[in-house]
Each structure stands twice: as C-alpha cells, then as structure tokens.
Amino acid sequence: MAQQLLEFLYLLAAISFVLGLKYMNSPDAARKGNILAAVGMTLAVFGTIFLYQNEEGMRLGHKGLIMAALAIGTVIGTLMAKRVKMTSMPQMVSFFNGMGGACAALISILEFNEMQAHAASHAQELISGDYSSAHITKLLIIFAGLIIGSVSFSGSIIAYGKLEDKIKDFVLPMQQIVNLLVFGSALVLSGLMISGSLQGSIWMYSVLGLALIYGILFVLPIGGADMPVVISLLNSFTGVAAACGGFLYDNKVMLMGGVLVGSAGTILTVVMCRAMNRSLTNVLIGNFGGNKGGGPAKSGSGGSIREVSATDTAIMMKYAQKVIIVPGYGLAVAQAQHVCHELEELLEKEGVDVKYAIHPVAGRMPGHMNVLLAESNVSYDKLVEMEHINPEFNTCDVVLIVGANDVVNPAAKTDPSSPIYGMPILEVEQARQIVVMKRSMKAGYAGIDNELFYNPKCGMLFGDAKATLTKLVNEVKAL
C-alpha cells in the first residue's frame, strides 16, 4: 500500500513539474508555476523519506539526520533568496546550479563505493570477464553522472566567480587541446573501468578530479558577454546528471525532473545562441566579451557625443506620443526599477504610450530584465520582446535606454570586424530621438565601443540610473 501511495505521489510531482514549466512560459503565471513545482518536489521528497522501501522491504534509515539536513538547507536557501539583490541573481542561480551538479556527482560516488563494497560477490565475474549487462549499464550511468555533475559543479563555481568579478578570463596556451586531453582522459579511464580493465576507487577519484579540472578549464576562458549562455548550458548539464541519478535509483520523478531541466536548459541555450546569431561552438571557443571595458570608449567613426539634461529629456518624453524604455544591467545595478515604473505611470497619465523593449540576452541571465521589472509591478503586457518591438521603433518619438549597451549597438549590423557582428539588436536608431542613460562613456560588457552614442539623434544623460530617473520624475511633475 505504501509503495502504491508513493507511486501516486511521484505521478502528482511529475505532473506538477510539467505544469510548472508550462506556467513559466508566461511572466504573469511564472510565480504560480514556481510554487506548483515546489509543492510537487516537496511531495516527492517527503514521500520518499516516509514511504519508500526497497525490494527487501527495508525503509530509509537515519530520518533524523535527513530532516536536520533538510531544515538546515531550507534555512540557508531561504536566507540567501531573501537577501540576494537582483543584480546578484545570476550568481545565485549559478551557485545553486553548481550545488545540484555536486549532489549528482556525490550520488555517483556513493553508488560506486556501494558496488565496491559488494565486489567480492562479483570477483569470479571479473576474473572470467563475464560482466553482466546490468553491471556494465550501472557503471556507465555512474560515470556519466560523475563526469557531467562534476563538470557542472566546478564550471558553475567558476561562472559564479566571474559574475562576481572575483575570477578573470584566462586562456591557456593551446587551450582547446588541453581541454580535449583532460576530457578525453576522463572518458578513457571511465571506459576502462566500465569494461573491467581497471578497478579500484583510486581510478574513480581520478576521473572525478579530471572532470572537475575540465569544468574549470571549460568555463575559465569564456568571455563575460557569453556567461548567460554558459549558465544555461551548465544548468542543462545538471539536469542530465540528475536524470542519471533517477536511472540509478529507478526513481521516476527524479528522472522526470532531470529530463525536464536538461531539455529546458538545452532549448534555452539554443534560443540564446540564435538571439546572438552565434553557434554554441563559437560561444565556447570564441572568448566573446573578455574585455570588461575598463577604459574610456573611443569613437570608431570620428564623431562626437551630445550631452542632454534631465529637463530636456523630461520635456521630450512628456510631450511625446510614444516612448519605449530599453532596460539593461545598469538599471539592475542602480536598483532603479521602481523609479522607472513611477516614470512610466506619470507619462501614461499624460497620455503617452509607454512600452519596454526586452532583448533576449539583456542583463546577466535569461529573463533578467523581465524579473527585474515584474518586481516593480510593471504590467506584463508592456514587456515586449525584441522581434515584436523592433517594427515599432520607427513610430517611436523617444527611446530611453537605461543602462543597456551591447544590445543596442549598431555595430552588430554595420561593422563586420566587430565581435558582435550579426547579433540581432534592438533597432533603437530608427526612433526620432534617443536618450542613453549611463554613468560614463565606458564600454559595455562585451568591451567594445557603441556607435549609437555618436548618432546625431542620440543624447547622453550621464549619472546613476536611480538618481537620474528620480530627476526625470521630478521634472515631469514640475512641467
């Protein structure tokens, strides 16, 4: 009876995962989807703790330790989630993803050691070479989960460090050859152990070490502008590693969750690569965005910039018919989303049509801008994706760019030598007037100059995004 109830709970959990993922397709239903998936996971976890029993009828032991670990993890996770700033959300996602990869790798280590503990019963098989297909399959899954989970863990931690600016881009001489040698060595050792040619925990830990090193080398040279793609790819790795754990334990809900995470991460990776008009191979070896743009940008066309005041900008916006706001990472850094929403509401009271243009890779992670603006209660129907908003720029009176840079750089269309050439951008240059809010003339995350700043229609409004938006709000009120 207990086993049947557990299977029913697993079915409910699997359904909640699928529905939760479906709800996350829509910003207004994303919170509901997240809660639904969390409820499903809770059912699966507690169902396993209290109802699971193996073929011999034995139930899980050490429930006190398990509950203590759950309590500690819940407290830590809750505190991290409540304290994290929106600017640090990509780092938290990367860190949590790394923990998922580590868990998957630990499962493989525990299962391998369990097999080693029962090696005496398989001694004759090993000597005779009569390896059972089930034994080989289990080892294959163990090493797949070990390698993929370890790569996801170490790679995610490096990604976390790079997003925090604690780790800089670094490229070894003959980097790709070194990567292939390390990864190839891990595969060869795994193959020899699966075939029975090598035995012993020392070789398993050697594979673990090589996989961890590969994860570090895999992410270390990748440029900052490609980090959203890398995070998504590593997320898919963690999903695949978790699915391997589902195979090992014959746990359907764990398998389902891993497959969903792996497939969703893979699809998102492909979507972002298309949004950047780059192949995944190019992302992984191209080192795009390695220069963080520490120095002042220089005009590539010999032009000059035009500075505007908050008063001028307020007048342009108040008496416009249509205004499009382009949010970027600078908006998140300044925590200016609430003031931006206040400006939007003021303009709408004046009869101005206001929308937000969302680029697929704006910010530091997929959906970063959507979540940021939703936090300030911006209506979801005002968040318009790139392919739908681009045709509207030529009917727009004023475009206000708040902290965005690379996603509005015309070099993506006009300069074949630019590293972002071919990347679809928000075509803001078609608007009648353009105002760019920036702290300085420093280059964006990709470390390249922006031709837009020298466009005669473009005015630069320098200053902190939150303080400058507050000035705009006050100026609009005073007009």
Q: What is the pLDDT of residues 42-57, one digit of tens each?
A: 999 999 999 888 766 6
- Contact indicator for 109, 164 with CB cutoff of 8 Å: no
Residue 219 pLDDT > 70:
yes
Architecture of domain 310-478: 3-Layer(aba) Sandwich (3.40)
DSSP secondary structure, 106-169, as one string: HHHHHHHHHHHHTGGGGHHHHHHT---HHHHHHHHHHHHHHHHHHHHHHHHHHHHHHHTTSS--
DSSP 3-state of 307: strand
CA distance 79 to 25: 27
Distance set, CA 329 to CA 27, 149, 161, 418 (Å)? 19, 30, 18, 21
**pLDDT, position 292:** 43
Instruction: Give me the active site residues, please.
Output: 406
What the block records as the tokens of 172 is 């070894």
**Average pLDDT along the chain:** 86
Residue 418 pLDDT > 60:
yes
Identity at 403, one-letter amino acid code: G
- CA dihedral for 420, 424, 426, 432, sign (positive or negative): positive
Per-residue pLDDT band for 297 (boundaries 50, 70, 90) equals very low
Residue 395 pLDDT > 80:
yes
Across the range 301-329, mean pLDDT stands at 89
Say if strands 353-358 and 383-385 run parallel, antiparallel, or are unpaired. parallel
- Contact indicator for 245, 257 with CB cutoff of 8 Å: no
Q: What is the value of pTM for the model shown?
A: 0.80
| Long-range residue pairs from 28-32, CB within 8 A, at least 24 positions apart, any chain | 28/380, 30/374
CA distance 104 to 152: 10
Across the range 367-395, mean pLDDT stands at 87
What the block records as the tokens of 275 is 């949004």
Per-residue pLDDT band for 250 (boundaries 50, 70, 90) equals confident
Per-residue pLDDT band for 121 (boundaries 50, 70, 90) equals low
- Contact indicator for 331, 402 with CB cutoff of 8 Å: yes
Percent of the chain with pLDDT over 90: 49
Per-residue pLDDT band for 294 (boundaries 50, 70, 90) equals very low
Identity at 390, one-letter amino acid code: N
DSSP 3-state of 249: helix
Identity at 465, one-letter amino acid code: A
- Contact indicator for 331, 372 with CB cutoff of 8 Å: yes
- Contact indicator for 194, 126 with CB cutoff of 8 Å: no
**Strand residue runs (E) in 200-278:** none
Q: Residue 462 forms beta bridges with which residues? A: 438
Q: Which residues contact 297 (CB under 8 A, 6 or more apart)?
A: 441, 442, 443, 449, 450, 453
Identity at 77, one-letter amino acid code: G
- Contact indicator for 403, 440 with CB cutoff of 8 Å: no
**pLDDT, position 372:** 81
